[in-house]
Homo-oligomer: A and B are copies of this chain.
Amino acid sequence: MTENSTGSGEPSRTLALLWGEPTEAPRRKGPARSVTVPQVVDAALLLADEQGLAAVTMRAVAEKVGVSAMSVYTYVPGKPELLDLMVDTCYFRMTRKPWGRLGWRKRLVAVADANRELLSGHPWLTEVAALSRPPLGPGVMAKYEHELAAFDDTGLSEVDIDAGLAYLLGFVQSHCRSAHDAARSTTDTAMSDAEWWGANQAVLARVFDAEAYPRAVRIGSAAGEAQGSAWAADHAWKFGLARTLDGLAALIGDDASA
Contacts and interface: CB of A to CB of B under 8 A. Distances in A.
A257 interface: no
- Give the number of times this chain occurs in the complex, counting copies: 2
B207 A158 contact: no
Q: Is the interface of A mostly helix, strand, loop or mixed?
A: helix
A73 interface: no
A173 B152 CA distance: 29
A130 B8 CA distance: 26
A244 B247 contact: yes
A3 interface: yes
Contacts of A215: 145, 148-149, 152
Interface in A109-134: 127, 130-133
A209 to B, nearest CB: 9
A144 B189 contact: no
A32 to B, nearest CB: 25
A65 interface: no
A48 to B, nearest CB: 13
A213 B162 contact: no
Interface in A156-175: 158-164, 166-167, 170-171, 173-175
Given A15-B203, A178-B131, A207-B15, A216 B3 contact: no
Interface of A: 2-3, 5, 7-8, 11-12, 15-16, 19, 22-23, 52-54, 127, 130-133, 136, 141-142, 144-145, 148-149, 152, 158-164, 166-167, 170-171, 173-175, 177-179, 181-182, 184-185, 189, 196, 199-200, 202-204, 206-208, 212-216, 218-220, 222-223, 226-227, 235-236, 239-240, 242-251
